[in-house]
Structure 1
Amino acid sequence: MKIISVIGHKKSGKTLLVEKLVQALKKYGSVGTIKHIPDHRLDKEGSDTWRHNKAGADIVIGVTPYERLAITSKNSNNLEDALKELADNGMDFAVVEGFKDSNLPKIVLGEMDISEINNIKKIVKNTGRLRAPDLSELINIVLAQSEYVTLNTLIKKVHKNPDFKKVGTIGTFTGIVRAVTGNVHTYALEYEIYEGVAEEYINNLCKELKKRDGVVEVLIHHNTGYLEAGKDTIYIVVAAAHRQEMFPVLIEAIERVKSEVPIWKKEHTLEGSFWVSEK
Structure 2
Amino acid sequence: MHVLGIVGAGSTTLCDRLAAQLDGRVATVESLPESATEPESTDGVAAAYGLSPDGNWVGTGDDRDLDGLLDDLSAEYDYALLSGFPDARVPTVALAGADAANVVAEAETADSADVASLAAEVDAHEPHVTLETLVERAKADPLEVYAGAIATFTGRVRAKESESDDPTLSLEFEKYDGVAESKMAAIAEELEARDGVLRVLMHHRVGVVEDGEDIVFVVVLAGHRREAFRTVEDGIDRLKDEVPIFKKEMTTDEEFWVHDR
Q: State the TM-score, normalizing by the size of structure 1.
A: 0.83
Residue in structure 2 matching 1:51, options 43, 46, 55: 43
CA displacement 1:6-28 (0-9 Å, x = unmatched):
1113xxx3222211222222xx2
Identity %: 33
Q: Which runs of 4+ in 1 moved over 4 A?
A: none
Residue in structure 2 matching 1:148, options 125, 128, 138: 128
Alignment match, 2:31: 36
Report the number of matched residues: 256
**Letter of the aligned partner of 2:160 in structure 1?**
V
CA displacement 1:39-93 (0-9 Å, x = unmatched):
441446xx5x25124xxxxx423335352414133xx3x22122112113x1100
Residue in structure 1 matching 2:107, options 105, 124, 127: 124
Equivalent positions of 1:79-90 (< 5 A) are: 79-88=66-75, 90=76
- Residue ranges of structure 2 left out of the alignment (5+ in a row): none
**Letter of the aligned partner of 2:97 in structure 1?**
M
**Whole-angstrom distance in 1 between the partners of 2:69 and 2:92:** 17
- Residue ranges of structure 1 left out of the alignment (5+ in a row): 54-58
**Whole-angstrom distance in 2 between the partners of 1:262 and 1:64:** 47
Shift, 1:112, TM fit: 2.9
**Letter of the aligned partner of 1:112 in structure 2?**
G
**Whole-angstrom distance in 2 between the partners of 1:270 and 1:137:** 40
**Whole-angstrom distance in 2 between the partners of 1:64 and 1:166:** 34
Higher Cα Rg: structure 1 or 2? Answer: 1
Tell me the secondary structure at the aligned position of residue 180 of structure 1: coil
Equivalent positions of 1:36-115 (< 5 A) are: 36-43=31-38, 49-53=41-45, 59-65=46-52, 67-73=57-63, 76=64, 78-88=65-75, 90-109=76-95, 111-114=96-99
Q: State the TM-score, normalizing by the size of structure 2.
A: 0.89
Contact 1:43 1:50 in 2 (8 A): no
Tell me the secondary structure at the aligned position of residue 268 of structure 1: strand
Contact 2:218 2:232 in 1 (8 A): yes
Contact 1:52 1:60 in 2 (8 A): no
